[in-house]
């Protein structure tokens, strides 16, 4: 890392190699803002609706759950969970349109 990059200059590899351990401020801020927007958007749903989407898409958890797994948790069939998920995503899309954020509508599954 202390070796010169070019023979005719004093620049060393350490000076031109990015530190991957440092987070770029713009990216960190963008991620934080995205999390806030998702929480705000999910607040239009009932607690059970939010829980289904969180479980399904792994929001605030590391694991995405299948329709069957969620159905077992709520005592519902996987088809009913799929119907509820579809209805909840439709509600979120409608909310985006009302807020003038319909450009993001395609980002919802």
Domains of the chain, CATH where assigned:
47-109 (1.10.10.10)
24-83 pLDDT per residue, tens: 777 777 777 777 777 788 888 999 999 999 999 888 777 899 999 999 999 999 999 999
For residue 108, pLDDT over 60 is answered with: no
> What's the number of CA atoms in the CB half-sphere (13 Å) around residue 56?
20
- In angstroms, the CA 57 to CA 37 distance is 16
Confidence class of residue 96 from pLDDT cuts 50, 70 and 90?
A: confident
Say what the pLDDT of residue 36 is.
79
Pair of tokens at residue 11: 């620049």
Contacts of 26 (CB under 8 A, 6+ apart): none
How does residue 104 score in pLDDT terms, banded at 50, 70 and 90? low
Pick from 17-21, 29-33, 84-88, 90-94: least confident: 17-21
Q: Which two tokens stand for residue 101?
A: 């954020």
Question: Which bin fits 29, alpha (ψ -120 to 50), beta or left (φ > 0)?
Answer: alpha
Q: What is the pTM of this model?
A: 0.63
Task: Give the residue ranges of DSSP H helices in the chain.
Answer: 13-16, 25-42, 47-57, 67-74, 78-98
């Amino acid at each position: 890392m202390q070796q010169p990059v070019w023979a005719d200059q004093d620049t060393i590899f350490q000076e031109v190699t990015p530190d991957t351990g440092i987070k770029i401020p713009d990216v960190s801020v963008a991620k934080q803002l995205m999390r806030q927007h998702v929480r705000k958007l999910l607040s239009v749903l009932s607690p059970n609706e939010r829980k289904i989407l969180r479980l399904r898409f792994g929001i605030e958890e590391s694991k995405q759950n299948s329709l069957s797994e969620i159905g077992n948790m709520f005592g519902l069939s996987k088809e009913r969970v799929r119907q509820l998920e579809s209805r909840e995503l439709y509600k979120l899309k409608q909310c985006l349109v009302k807020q003038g954020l319909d450009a993001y509508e395609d980002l919802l599954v």
